Amino acid sequence: MDLQELINISRIPLPYSQKVIDLFRNPKNQGKMKNPTVIAVAGNPACGDMITFYMKINDQEVIEKITFESYGCAANIATASIVTEMVNGLNLKDTWKELSWKKVVEEVGGLPNVKSHCGILAVGAVKRGIRKYYQQKGLVPNWIPRGLTSEEKQALEEEELAEKLSKK
Amino acid sequence: MSLNPSKIRGDFPIFQRKINNNPLIYFDNAATTQKPIQVIDSIKNFYEKYNANVHRAVYSLSQEATELYEDSREKIAKFINAEPSEIIFTRGTTEAINLIAYSWGLDNLKQNDEILLTEMEHHSNLIPWEIISKRTEAITKYVKINENSTINLKDFENKLSTKTKIVSISHVSNVTGVINDIKNISKITHENNSLILIDGAQSVPHMKVDVKELDIDFLAFSAHKMLGPTGIGALYCKKKNFETMGPFQGGGEMIKNVNFNSKIQKPEIQWNSPPWKFEAGTPNIAGSIGFMEAVKYLDSIGIEKVSSYEKDLTKYALNRIKECKKTIVYGPLDTSIKCGIISFNVQGLSSHDVALFADTFGIMIRSGYHCAQPLHQVIKLQSSARASFYIYNTIEEIDRFVEVLKEIEQF
């Protein structure tokens, strides 16, 4: 009896959508990148999950390539994977405007409530990466809000732990 | 004779519940246990018939409430072979450890004194000492654990020195279920003229803990992990140690006399005698009565039977989990040094996914760090899933759990 059969018998919906399961099994753009323009890390000390994004950004401020590494749960991997697909080829301004955790959750076909923080983490990490890119260049584009967004804050809070874990 | 789990289950109303269309299988007993009807009724009964403040009034109702509250202290004292006057009611294990850290620690620790802890401690036996170490400039040191997650006794003896003022250590690890040899550790500690505090949150509910036999100075434990209500626990404090302890919180009940001296325009305060000196404010009276009832319930079974039944369950579970090829269990497998706590991971899956899937089958297990992040870092784990048992769990539930675990491995 496989999981699907067992679920059919007990008539329990899987906690994850088919899309999440597919992305967990076959994630897109997974792996380290050589010489990225920006690395963005986010982790969650409450659950021990963490994600790293590697972004190659060209002179037109377009994300040419983005990859991720994740040691987290299926929701963590799926949301990170979908984010790379959503922002690949977009310029940074559009990425900032288009990307929200609600959209990410929608794109993966929904997440159990206890898992929506995974979507927040992925979006927060990318936004922190964009901010870092402009800081490195010494630029302050007017479309980036002065204060951190709630998604960035969540990713920031967890940065210290992420650093520790990434050294392992 | 072993205990009768089906009879016991009948006393727990929660097992009539279904979760996600499945009968509830509750395997998170290291976090908190379910409550028998006797405990629930005792609290209801108190509020319906005896509710009044304690130690305050001359009227009958208050006298009766006080009597019940003090009966509870006596019952709990007996359970661990202590004197009633050596039991301080607290909010739980965490507050009990904080009480010692603040009221003993602030008065007795000074710069370069040492507090000896271990790598396996729960945050509640680690953070209070880190706070106090900052305030007193005393130093915290951590005893290493062996590969099988037991305490490294050599490292313990190496780190114990004339500077060590207190050793604070868990009796049973809430992650690996390892049982520490407290009798021996206590002997070594006392030969060194240091005090010893035992975090008994995971031991008192599951095995015979005799404070005289173990010869310990302090013991902290919680009611809610032993069938009682949340929000109440106890701190055992060996009588002679009271002399070195200043008050913890200030308020009513913990003072004997507050005489306002008009000459100096200040009150002159005389502390109450222990244990009341450490119980400021109106205590959790209903909680204490629920606590007493929980102890009575365990007494009616016999704590030795509780222990041996849990060992049987754990042995059975460890053996059956071997069939799950992708599942890795942490800590020792020898049940002579291990309680009914099994932490594990399924290869390729996050512990949270394991717990999430188990939940869809009505099985409640924990995932994450279990409030012991340092231990996870020491054994190089990101997080783990944990199943922990109590008297109402059955062999059949473990069979179902293993069946589900095999399915989860296919995910």
pLDDT tens column, B280-312:
999 999 999 999 999 999 999 999 999 999 999
Closest approach of chain B CAs to the CA of A87, in angstroms? 26
Q: Does the residue B8 lie in any domain?
A: no
User: Domain boundary residue among B299, B326, B352?
Assistant: B299
Position A5 scores a pLDDT of 54
The reply to whether B258 and B396 lie within a common domain is no
The answer for residues whose C-beta is within 8 angstroms of residue B111's C-beta and 6 or more apart is: B136, B137, B138
With an 8 Å Cβ cutoff, is B18 touching chain A?
no
- Cα A107-A112-A117 angle, rounded to 5 deg: 75
The reply to whether B249 and B207 lie within a common domain is yes
Position A4 scores a pLDDT of 52
pLDDT 10s digits, A111-130: 988 888 888 889 999 999 99
> Is the CB of A74 less than 8 angstroms away from the CB of B353?
yes
pLDDT 10s digits, A129-153: 999 999 999 998 999 988 888 788 7
Q: Does the residue A11 lie in any domain?
A: no
| Domain around A106 | 19-166
Average confidence (pLDDT) over A84-92: 95
The reply to whether B262 and B349 lie within a common domain is no
Average confidence (pLDDT) over B406-410: 91
Closest residue in chain A to residue B353, using alpha carbons only = A73
Q: Does the residue B99 lie in any domain?
A: yes
User: Domain boundary residue among B299, B320, B345?
Assistant: B299
Rounded to whole angstroms, how far apart are CA atoms B63 and B7? 36
* A-B C-beta contacts closer than 8 Å: 65
The reply to whether B365 and B273 lie within a common domain is no
Q: Does position B152 have pLDDT exceeding 90, yes or no?
A: yes
With an 8 Å Cβ cutoff, is B380 touching chain A?
yes
Rounded to whole angstroms, how far apart are CA atoms A165 and B257? 55
Q: Does the residue A86 lie in any domain?
A: yes
Give residue B26's pLDDT band: very low, low, confident or very high (50, 70, 90): very high
Position A1 scores a pLDDT of 47
B400 CB neighbours in chain A (<8 A) are none
The reply to whether B175 and B207 lie within a common domain is yes
Q: Does position A28 have pLDDT exceeding 60, yes or no?
A: yes
> Is the CB of A48 less than 8 angstroms away from the CB of B368?
yes
pLDDT 10s digits, B157-211: 999 999 999 999 999 999 999 999 999 999 999 999 999 999 999 999 999 999 9
The reply to whether B231 and B140 lie within a common domain is yes
Q: Which of A32-46, A154-168, B186-200 is predicted most confidently?
A: B186-200
How many domains, chain A? 1
Q: Does the residue B17 lie in any domain?
A: no
Q: Does the residue A100 lie in any domain?
A: yes
Q: Does position A79 have pLDDT exceeding 90, yes or no?
A: yes
Q: Does the residue B9 lie in any domain?
A: no
Smallest Cβ distance to B360: which of A1, A15, A75?
Answer: A15
Is the Cβ–Cβ distance between B116 and B161 less than 8 Å?
A: no
Q: B185: domain CATH number?
A: 3.40.640.10
Name the phi and psi angles at B90, rounded to 5. Answer: -130, 180
The reply to whether B183 and B287 lie within a common domain is yes
Q: Does the residue B16 lie in any domain?
A: no
Name the phi and psi angles at B199, rounded to 5. Answer: -85, 105
The reply to whether B256 and B374 lie within a common domain is no
Closest residue in chain B to residue A5, using alpha carbons only = B407
> Is the CB of B410 less than 8 angstroms away from the CB of A72?
no
In three-state secondary structure terms, B179 is strand
User: Domain boundary residue among B283, B299, B315?
Assistant: B299
Give residue A11's pLDDT band: very low, low, confident or very high (50, 70, 90): very low
Position B127 scores a pLDDT of 95
The reply to whether B293 and B311 lie within a common domain is no
Q: Does the residue A4 lie in any domain?
A: no
pLDDT 10s digits, B313-332: 999 999 999 999 999 999 99
The dihedral formed by the CA atoms of A84, A85, A88 and A91, expressed in degrees to the nearest 10: -90
* Percentage with pLDDT > 90 across chain B: 89
A69 CB neighbours in chain B (<8 A) are none
The answer for residues whose C-beta is within 8 angstroms of residue A146's C-beta and 6 or more apart is: none
Closest approach of chain A CAs to the CA of B30, in angstroms? 18
Smallest Cβ distance to B21: which of A12, A49, A73?
Answer: A12
Rounded to whole angstroms, how far apart are CA atoms B399 and B385? 17
A73 CB neighbours in chain B (<8 A) are 349-350, 352-353, 356
Rounded to whole angstroms, how far apart are CA atoms B151 and B148? 9
Closest approach of chain B CAs to the CA of A79, in angstroms? 14
Q: Does the residue B196 lie in any domain?
A: yes
Residue A98 or B208, more confident: B208
Q: B387: domain CATH number?
A: 3.90.1150.10
Burial label, A140 (beta-carbon count in 10 A; 0-12, 13-18, 19+): exposed
Q: Write out the two tokens for B92.
A: 């739980």
With an 8 Å Cβ cutoff, is B153 touching chain A?
no
> Is the CB of A6 less than 8 angstroms away from the CB of B407?
yes
Closest approach of chain A CAs to the CA of B168, in angstroms? 25
Residue A118 or B400, more confident: B400
- Cα B275-B278-B281 angle, rounded to 5 deg: 115
The reply to whether B280 and B150 lie within a common domain is yes
Q: Does the residue A65 lie in any domain?
A: yes
Burial label, A132 (beta-carbon count in 10 A; 0-12, 13-18, 19+): middle
Q: Side chain identity at A113, as an amino acid letter?
A: N
With an 8 Å Cβ cutoff, is B401 touching chain A?
no
Closest approach of chain A CAs to the CA of B118, in angstroms? 21
Closest residue in chain B to residue A25, using alpha carbons only = B411
Q: A33: domain CATH number?
A: 3.90.1010.10
The whole-chain average pLDDT of chain A stands at 83
Give residue A2's pLDDT band: very low, low, confident or very high (50, 70, 90): low
Decide if B237 is catalytic: no
> Hunting for tokens 């599942």 — which residue is that?
B327
Q: Does the residue A147 lie in any domain?
A: yes
Closest residue in chain B to residue A43, using alpha carbons only = B382
Interface of A with B (CB under 8 A): 1-3, 6-7, 10-15, 21, 45-49, 71-76, 112, 114-115, 164-165, 168
Rounded to whole angstroms, how far apart are CA atoms B232 and B373? 25
Average confidence (pLDDT) over B237-266: 92
How many domains, chain B? 2
Q: Does the residue A60 lie in any domain?
A: yes
Q: Does position A167 have pLDDT exceeding 70, yes or no?
A: no
| Domain around B278 | 40-299
Q: Does the residue A9 lie in any domain?
A: no
How crowded is the C-beta side of A19, counted as CA atoms within 13 Å? 13
Position A140 scores a pLDDT of 87
